[in-house]
């Protein structure tokens, strides 16, 4: 299964394709905006005019899109992935959507004689480029074993967690931690800074303490300088937290810290900061504490 397809060449998807190309796989890609994929075409990726075209030429086709609506846009209709699937093909969705939507799509894939896995990832651009990405997989176990070598090319940590929809459930359970961690980290930095400790010093100390998680180690420095391109923006993070809150309601699991982190993301949107990485939670908290929107650490910090 060396002929692969990939639909959704965003920040993460495009870099996954690069890893697959570097490993020697033939990859046919599609993205709504072709210009954004030009650098991959220059590296040898083939172009599919529609998601259906990609599914038709590939043995294994991947998707990685923003949300459930975007997933439906690339899978349904005469030019969608479902129209291009057939017996023997494998479809792997790496998007973070609701488990119910993922299971429903898996049933429609099965009607085409194909097999579907949900395989969202945990990590960022940095962990992906360093070869440290982790992948959780849901669906038929034999199909998982069949494509595991391909997945291990993307990231070395590949865990099977159960049937269709279970991997995206696990991804939501993982991501609800990110918002809560970033909020707690921001509170700690801001408390130290307003008490007279330079922000840079506070960040350094916290990231060398027992409180530092891998996520905070690569995202914590964003409170000093935000990246020009969001790794995971406010809207994307809030989408995941809202799914988590809905799952909590369905499963009778209280998620109080998730709810609070979600409110700070709503505040970020209200302040017009939603295009930033969700680490902008620090800026929201800073404004609430009395810092001006343009506040920067004093010189020398």
User: Which amino acids are annotated catalytic?
Assistant: 171
Spatial distance between the Cα atoms of 147 and 162, rounded to a whole number of angstroms: 15
Give, rounded to a whole angstrom, the gap between the first and last alpha carbons of the chain.
53
Helices (H), the chain: 11-22, 38-42, 51-57, 68-75, 81-84, 99-111, 125-129, 141-154, 166-194, 199-206, 214-219, 234-251, 256-270, 281-288
User: In whole angstroms, how far apart are CA 235 and each of 138, 272, 278?
Assistant: 25, 11, 8
- Whether 40 and 28 have beta carbons less than 8 Å apart is answered as no
For residue 197, the 8-state DSSP code is -
Please give the Cα distance from 145 to 81 (Å, whole number): 23
Give the span between the Cα atoms of 44 and 196, in whole angstroms. 53
List the beta bridge partners of residue 112.
Answer: none
Distance of CA 116 to CAs 120, 142, 267, Å? 13, 11, 37
Give the residues across from 233 on adjacent strands: 277
User: Among all chains, which residue has been given the structure tokens 């995971």?
Assistant: 232
Residue linked to tokens 């075409």: 41
Q: Which of 131, 46, 138, 155 is nearest to 98 (CA)?
A: 138
**CA dist., res. 262 & res. 257, Å (int):** 9
């Amino acid at each position: 299964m060396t002929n692969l397809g990939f639909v959704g060449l965003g920040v993460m998807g495009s870099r996954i394709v690069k890893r697959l190309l570097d490993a020697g796989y033939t990859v046919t890609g599609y993205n709504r905006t072709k210009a954004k994929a030009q650098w991959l075409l220059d590296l040898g990726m083939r172009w599919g005019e529609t998601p259906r075209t990609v599914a038709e030429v590939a043995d294994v086709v991947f998707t990685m899109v923003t949300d459930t609506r975007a997933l439906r846009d690339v899978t349904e209709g005469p030019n969608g992935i479902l129209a291009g699937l057939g017996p023997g093909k494998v479809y792997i969705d790496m998007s973070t959507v609701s488990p119910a939507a993922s299971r429903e799509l898996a049933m429609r894939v099965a009607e085409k004689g194909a097999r579907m896995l949900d395989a969202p990832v945990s990590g960022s651009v940095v962990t992906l480029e360093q070869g440290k990405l982790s992948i959780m997989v849901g669906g038929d176990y034999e199909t998982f074993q069949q494509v595991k070598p391909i997945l291990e090319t993307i990231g070395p940590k590949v865990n099977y967690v159960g049937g269709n929809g279970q991997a995206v459930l696990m991804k939501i359970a993982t991501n609800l931690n990110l918002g809560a961690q970033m909020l707690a980290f921001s509170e700690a930095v801001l408390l130290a800074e307003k008490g007279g400790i330079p922000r840079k010093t506070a960040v350094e100390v916290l990231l060398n303490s027992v409180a530092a998680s891998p996520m905070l180690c690569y995202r914590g420095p964003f409170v000093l300088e935000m990246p020009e391109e969001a790794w995971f923006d406010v809207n994307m993070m809030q989408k995941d937290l809202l799914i988590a809150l809905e799952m909590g309601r369905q499963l009778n699991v209280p998620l109080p810290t998730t709810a609070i982190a979600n409110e700070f993301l709503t505040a970020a949107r209200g302040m017009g900061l939603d295009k930033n990485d969700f680490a902008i939670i620090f800026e929201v908290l800073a404004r609430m504490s009395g810092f001006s929107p343009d506040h920067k650490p004093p010189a020398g910090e």
